Structure 1
Amino acid sequence: MKTAIYNGKVYIERGHFEQAVLISDGIIEKVGTNEDILACASQDCEVIDADGKTILPGFNDSHLHLGSIGEWLTYANLSGATSIEDIVEIGKRFIEENPELVKQGLYGIGWNQDYFTDEKRILTRHDLDRISTDIPIVFERVCGHIVSANTKALEVGGITADTPQVDGGVFEIGDDGQPNGIFKENATYQITKVIPPHTFEKLEQLYIKAMEYAVSVGVTSVQSNDVRDHNYKEVFRLMHKLHDEGKLLVRYRHQFSFLDIENFKDFLATEFKDYRYDNKFLALGPLKLFKDGSLGARTALMRKGYLDDPGNYGVASLSDEQMDELCGLAVKNGIQVITHTIGDAAIDDTITNYERTMKEGKNSLRHGVVHCQITDLPILERVAKLDILVMVQPIFLNYDLHVVESRVGKDLASTSYAFHTLDKLGVHVAYGTDAPIEDCNPFFGVYSAVTRKDLNGFPERGFYPKECVDLEQAIDNYTIGSAYAEFLEDVKGRIKPGYWADLIILDRDIFTIPVDEIKDIKVDLTICNGKVVYRRV
Structure 2
Amino acid sequence: MIILAIFINGNVITLDNNKKNAQAFKVKMGKFEAVGSQEDILNLKEVNEEIIDLQGRTVVPGFNDSHMHFLNYAVFKSRVNLSNIASIDEMIEATKNYIKENNIKKGEWIISRGWNHNYFSDNRLPNRYDLDRISTENPIFFSRVCGHIGVANSMALEISGINETTQNPEGGVIDKKNSVPTGILRENAMNFVFNKIPAMTKDEIKKVLKSAFSDALKCGLTTIHSEDMGTAGDLKTLIEAYKELDNEKELPLRFVLQLNLMNKKAVAEAKSIGIRTGELSAMLKIGVMKIYQDGSLGGRTAAMEEMYEDTESNGVIIYTQEELDDLVLSGHEAGFQIAIHAIGDKAIKMILNSYEKLQIAYPNADLRPIIIHCQFTNKKLLEKFKKLNVISNVQPSFVMTDWPIVEKAVGRKRAYESYNWKTMLNLGLKVSFSSDAPIESFNPLYGVYAAVTRKNLSGEPEAGWYSNQSLTVEEALKCFTLGSAYMNFEENYKGSIEKGNLADFVVLSENILQIDNNSIKDINVLASYVGGKRVY
Fold agreement, TM-score > 0.5 = yes
> Secondary structure of the equivalent of 1:187?
helix
TM-score scaled by structure 1? Answer: 0.95
Displacement after TM superposition at 1:101 (Å): 7.3
* Residues 104 and 195, structure 1, Cα contact 8 Å, conserved in 2: no
Give the residue type in structure 2 aligned to 1:145.
H
* Residues 246 and 284, structure 2, Cα contact 8 Å, conserved in 1: yes
* Residues 198 and 233, structure 2, Cα contact 8 Å, conserved in 1: no
Match in the other structure for 1:251? 254
Of 141, 145, 155, the residue aligned with 1:138 is 141
* Residues 370 and 393, structure 2, Cα contact 8 Å, conserved in 1: yes
Displacement after TM superposition at 1:457 (Å): 0.6
Match in the other structure for 2:408? 406
Residue deviations 1:221-256, cap 9 Å, x none?
A: 111111359421111111111111111111111211
Residues 230 and 72 of structure 1, relative CA distance in 2, 3 Å threshold? closer
Residues 427 and 34 of structure 1, relative CA distance in 2, 3 Å threshold? same
TM-score scaled by structure 2? Answer: 0.95
Paired residues for 1:43-442 under 5 Å: 43-100=47-104, 104-117=108-121, 119-175=122-178, 177-228=179-230, 230-272=233-275, 277-278=279-280, 280-310=282-312, 312-359=313-360, 364-442=366-444
Displacement after TM superposition at 1:266 (Å): 2.3
Residues 480 and 510 of structure 1, relative CA distance in 2, 3 Å threshold? same
Q: Percent of counterpart pairs with the same letter?
A: 37
Residue deviations 1:348-391, cap 9 Å, x none?
A: 11000110110376772100100000111211122112211110
Displacement after TM superposition at 1:47 (Å): 2.4
Match in the other structure for 2:522? 520
Distance between the aligned counterparts of 2:91 and 2:196, measured in 1? 20
Distance between the aligned counterparts of 2:365 and 2:83, measured in 1? 39
* Residues 160 and 179, structure 1, Cα contact 8 Å, conserved in 2: yes
Give the residue type in structure 2 aligned to 1:37.
I
Distance between the aligned counterparts of 2:344 and 2:379, measured in 1? 14
Match in the other structure for 1:36? 40
Distance between the aligned counterparts of 2:326 and 2:228, measured in 1? 22
67-76 or 461-470, which deviates more:
67-76
* Residues 151 and 183, structure 2, Cα contact 8 Å, conserved in 1: yes
Residues 102 and 46 of structure 1, relative CA distance in 2, 3 Å threshold? farther
Match in the other structure for 1:477? 479
Residues 507 and 102 of structure 1, relative CA distance in 2, 3 Å threshold? farther
* Residues 10 and 58, structure 2, Cα contact 8 Å, conserved in 1: yes
> Secondary structure of the equivalent of 1:263?
helix
Distance between the aligned counterparts of 1:130 and 1:530, measured in 2? 53
* Residues 261 and 290, structure 2, Cα contact 8 Å, conserved in 1: yes
Displacement after TM superposition at 1:500 (Å): 0.3
Distance between the aligned counterparts of 2:238 and 2:193, measured in 1? 21
* Residues 76 and 113, structure 2, Cα contact 8 Å, conserved in 1: yes
Displacement after TM superposition at 1:330 (Å): 2.1
> Secondary structure of the equivalent of 1:524?
strand
Distance between the aligned counterparts of 1:170 and 1:363, measured in 2? 37
Displacement after TM superposition at 1:333 (Å): 3.4
Distance between the aligned counterparts of 2:510 and 2:106, measured in 1? 43
> Secondary structure of the equivalent of 1:304?
coil
Residues 348 and 363 of structure 1, relative CA distance in 2, 3 Å threshold? farther
Of 17, 20, 23, the residue aligned with 2:21 is 17
Match in the other structure for 1:460? 462
Displacement after TM superposition at 1:215 (Å): 1.1
397-406 or 42-51, which deviates more:
42-51
Distance between the aligned counterparts of 1:533 and 1:268, measured in 2? 34
Residues 450 and 362 of structure 1, relative CA distance in 2, 3 Å threshold? farther
> Secondary structure of the equivalent of 2:404?
coil
Q: Which runs of 5+ in 2 are unaligned?
A: none
* Residues 19 and 32, structure 1, Cα contact 8 Å, conserved in 2: yes
Distance between the aligned counterparts of 1:334 and 1:204, measured in 2? 27
Distance between the aligned counterparts of 2:428 and 2:531, measured in 1? 30
Distance between the aligned counterparts of 1:362 and 1:169, measured in 2? 36
Matched, 1:531 2:533: yes
Distance between the aligned counterparts of 1:335 and 1:129, measured in 2? 43
* Residues 66 and 211, structure 1, Cα contact 8 Å, conserved in 2: no
Displacement after TM superposition at 1:43 (Å): 3.5
* Residues 203 and 241, structure 2, Cα contact 8 Å, conserved in 1: no
346-355 or 87-96, which deviates more:
87-96
Displacement after TM superposition at 1:193 (Å): 4.1
Distance between the aligned counterparts of 1:531 and 1:451, measured in 2? 33
Give the residue type in structure 2 aligned to 1:84.
I
Distance between the aligned counterparts of 1:437 and 1:197, measured in 2? 22
226-235 or 1-10, which deviates more:
226-235
> Secondary structure of the equivalent of 2:34?
strand
> Secondary structure of the equivalent of 1:264?
helix
Displacement after TM superposition at 1:171 (Å): 1.5
Distance between the aligned counterparts of 1:155 and 1:521, measured in 2? 49
* Residues 6 and 50, structure 1, Cα contact 8 Å, conserved in 2: yes
Q: Aligned residue pairs: how many?
A: 530
> Secondary structure of the equivalent of 1:10?
strand
RMSD: 1.8
